[in-house]
Amino acid sequence: MLIVESDQTLGAPERLARLLDKQEIAELLFRYCRGVDRLDMELVRSCYHPDATDSHGTFEGTVDEYLEWSERLLRRYTGSVHTVSNVLIDIDPQPAVSADGVAVERARCEAHGIARHWTDGGPPELNLSVGFRFIDDVSRRGGGLWLISRRVATTEWVREEQFRPFDERFLRGKRDRSDPLYNTHPGQ
């Protein structure tokens, strides 16, 4: 599904609603990246519909299988930072109706990104940057949240990196709920 429709054909209220939908979909991508980088697999899971599928590198399967696969890979690294940009979202102007009569709004989202992975004291193959794209079919079912229905992740390039030793005087992010993000007042 690739729908390209100019938002200029819509009235102001519809354009505002479309803009808010696109912002919600973009924030869905950002939450996914946060969950991956913090190893918060519950947060990652919340970005997908229960029946979603993911095609990610050498992996293809259900969202639950993907979470198990990706967590196992991510734990090999000391940390990661996933960033996305060039987010383009095309919302299907015609909602569908599911077999059980629920209205389903659909969109296609493409985002380019760079994932940086590092392993303190690790070999070069565990210190790398990966250029990727997420091609997501997202949907909002029954007026709920926009969530991923199907993700295809492409790998555009891979580069081994040499990371400098980390100055321990700096506050360092954590890959669990002890990260400052999860504190009400970071630094306290």
Q: Which of 136, 137, 134, 135 is nearest to 104 (CA)?
A: 137
In this prediction, residue 31 carries a pLDDT of: 98
Calculate the alpha carbon distances from 135 to 132, 179, 183 in Å. Answer: 10, 29, 33
Are 111 and 69 in contact by the 8 Å Cβ rule? The answer is no
Are the C-beta atoms of residues 61 and 51 closer than 8 Å to each other?
Answer: no
Every domain of the chain and the residues it spans: 10-165
Please report, in tens digits, the pLDDT of each residue of the chain (188 residues total).
444 455 667 788 888 999 999 999 999 999 999 999 999 999 999 999 999 999 998 999 999 999 999 999 999 999 999 999 999 999 998 888 988 889 999 999 999 999 999 998 888 888 999 999 999 999 999 999 999 999 999 999 999 987 766 678 888 888 888 888 887 665 55
pTM of this structure:
0.88
- Tell me which long-range contacts 69-75 makes (C-beta under 8 A, separation of at least 24): 70/36, 70/41, 70/44, 71/39, 71/41, 74/36, 74/39, 75/39
CATH class of 10-165: alpha beta
